[in-house]
Structure 1
Amino acid sequence: MKYFVAPGEDRKLTADSRKALRGSFIELSDGVTHYELTGPEDGDVVLMAGGLTIPLFYWDGLVSELHARGLRTLTCSAYGRGYSDRVQARYDETLFTRQLAELTDRLGLTARPLHLVGTSMGALVAMTYAAQYRSSVSTLTIVGPAGLAKPRSASPDRLLRNDVLAGVVVRRRGLRLLQEHLGHNVRDPGLGAELTDMVLGTLRFEGSLYAVFDTLQHLPLTGRDDLFRRTGALGIPTLLLWGDEDTVTPSAHFDTARALLKPQHHHVITRCGHMAPFERPRDVADQLVPFVSARTERLDP
């Protein structure tokens, strides 16, 4: 898709504008990345990969829970999200995986294996990262992953692969489509409104809609059984979590994910929609912390 600036994108990300924004910033090979490395300095690092639209603020509740339990966290906004650059590039797994690899390297976090968490689209990125940097991953946690639905001939991402049609659709209805998507992510209307405000605030920066819809063009969110299967064969200790009322990546795919990933532990969070780390951070931490701690104790006898 050819780069464009959509109506309503009235702000630019510059060195000056970032001075007033939350978080830290680092120049990587593809552009500036927005990140936060926080928590106990002696804690094991949990690296988080987010979904299609979310900035790093999405993780705040879970980050607080993990800090209170002794873990350090690295969150970042993928390119095109949050306050990371809107790069004029192909938004695919290669780009997002390279971003995570360069970020951890530049921050000096490669000496000890990380605990990797991926949710929704970020689960696909996390699995790709795990395959490429197997020795750098101590544990892998997958939450409500995309990728297990079957491709449909009339699905929106297929229509968007036509550049001319994509340009027309995104300019006319892109923001509205995203708002409708965000409304289905969580059960609680109050949290839904909070999520929508969080994401829409970052979509005011030039190139945001281009980034999201170019991702839909180039990062397949369906028919990814082989990626799950290959991940399951890596031998990385894996935790699988899912919300029982997830309507975006329905929990009907839970058994398929279990069969392909072969996780050491799995858990369904009750009364929870698609965004468990955002909706139910304490419940996610209750599952994640003992899983991570058990692995850490084996590394440090």
Structure 2
Amino acid sequence: MKYFVASGEDRRLTAETRQAMPGSFIELSDGVTHYELTGPEDGDVVVMAGGLTIPLFYWDSLVTELNARGLRTLTCSAYGRGFSDRVRARYDESLFARQLAELTDRLGLTARPLHLVGTSMGALVAMTYAAQRPASVSTLTLVGPAGLTKPRPTSPHRLLRNDRLAGLVARRRGLQILKGHLGHNVRDPDLGAELTEMVLDAFRYEGSLYAVFDTLQHLPVAGRGDLFRQTGALGIPTLLLWGAEDQVTPLAHLDTARTLLKPQHHQVIAECGHMAPFERPRDVADQIAPFVAARTERLDS
């Protein structure tokens, strides 16, 4: 799909505009990445991979909870999201996994295995990263993972394979589709409004809608059973979390995920939609922290 700037994208990300932005920035091989590394310097490092649209601010409440439990956290905005570069490259899982690999390497965080968390589409990125660098991953936590629906002839991914059609849909209806997607993510209307405001603010930067629709073209979010099966065969201790009222990756896929991943532990979070780290950060931290601690104790013993 040819790069485009959509109506309403009235801001540009430059070195000058980033000077007033919170967090840190680093130049990687594909572009500039916006990240935050917080928490006790001697804590185990938890690295988070986000979904289709979310910036790193999505993780703020979970970060606070994990830092309070003695864990160090690394969050970043994937390329095309938040304040990271809108790159003119193929937005596929290889791009996002490479971004995480380069970021952790450049920040010197790979001396000990990392604890990797992926939510929704970010779960596919996390599994790709784990497959490429299994020795560097101590635990894997997947939250409401995408990838287990069956591909349909009318699925957005298949329809958007045509570059001309993808560009037309993205320009004319992209923002409307994005708002509709965000409206199904969160159970609580107030949190949903907060999430929508957060995401749409970052979508004022040039190239944002292009990035999302190019991702939909090149990163399949259905029919990924082989990736789940491959991940389960890696032997990495895995925690599987799911919102009980998830409308995006329905709870009906939980049993399939368990069969393929063979997780050490799974938990359904009550009164929660698709975005458990955002909706129920304390409940998610209550699951992640002891899971990480148990693995660390085994490695240290």
Tell me the SS of whatever aligns to 1:80: coil
Note if 1:132 corresponds to 2:136.
no
TM-score, length-normalised on structure 1?
0.99
Give the gaps of 5 or more residues in structure 2. Answer: none
Name the structure 2 match of 1:171: 171
Structure 1 ranges of 4+ moved more than 2 A: none
Alignment of 1:142-157 (within 5 A): 142-157=142-157
Name the structure 2 match of 1:206: 206
Q: Distance in 2 between matches of 1:8 and 1:89?
A: 22
Alignment of 1:58-207 (within 5 A): 58-207=58-207
Name the structure 2 match of 1:57: 57
Tell me the SS of whatever aligns to 2:245: coil
Deviation of 1:203 (Å) = 0.3
Partner amino acid for 1:264?
Answer: Q
Q: Distance in 1 between matches of 2:174 and 2:269?
A: 31
Q: Distance in 1 between matches of 2:20 and 2:175?
A: 25
Tell me the SS of whatever aligns to 1:26: strand
Deviation of 1:22 (Å) = 1.4
Partner amino acid for 1:180?
Answer: G
Name the structure 2 match of 1:38: 38
Tell me the SS of whatever aligns to 2:35: strand
Tell me the SS of whatever aligns to 1:161: coil
Name the structure 2 match of 1:263: 263
Deviation of 1:160 (Å) = 1.1
Output one character per residue of 1:65-88: Cα deviation in whole Å (capped at 9) or x when no partner. Answer: 000000000000000000000000
Tell me the SS of whatever aligns to 1:110: coil
Q: Distance in 2 between matches of 1:179 and 1:57?
A: 18
Q: Distance in 2 between matches of 1:175 and 1:265?
A: 38
Name the structure 2 match of 1:275: 275
Q: Distance in 2 between matches of 1:140 and 1:98?
A: 17
Tell me the SS of whatever aligns to 2:147: coil
Tell me the SS of whatever aligns to 1:191: helix
Deviation of 1:184 (Å) = 0.4
Output one character per residue of 1:168-209: Cα deviation in whole Å (capped at 9) or x when no partner. Answer: 111111001000100000100000000000000000000000
Name the structure 2 match of 1:222: 222
Tell me the SS of whatever aligns to 2:6: coil
Q: Distance in 2 between matches of 1:134 and 1:148?
A: 22
Name the structure 2 match of 1:4: 4
Deviation of 1:110 (Å) = 1.0
Name the structure 1 match of 2:26: 26
Name the structure 1 match of 2:47: 47
Output one character per residue of 1:37-87: Cα deviation in whole Å (capped at 9) or x when no partner. Answer: 001111000000000000000001100000000000000000000000000
Output one character per residue of 1:228-264: Cα deviation in whole Å (capped at 9) or x when no partner. Answer: 0000000000000000100000000000000000000
Q: Distance in 1 between matches of 2:262 and 2:133?
A: 19
Q: Distance in 1 between matches of 2:88 and 2:45?
A: 31
Q: Distance in 2 between matches of 1:161 and 1:21?
A: 35
TM-score, length-normalised on structure 2?
0.99
Partner amino acid for 2:207?
Answer: G
Aligned residue pairs: how many? 301
Tell me the SS of whatever aligns to 1:235: coil
Partner amino acid for 2:256?
Answer: T
Q: Distance in 1 between matches of 2:232 and 2:275?
A: 23
Partner amino acid for 1:228?
Answer: F
Deviation of 1:98 (Å) = 0.4
Deviation of 1:155 (Å) = 1.2
Partner amino acid for 1:220?
Answer: P
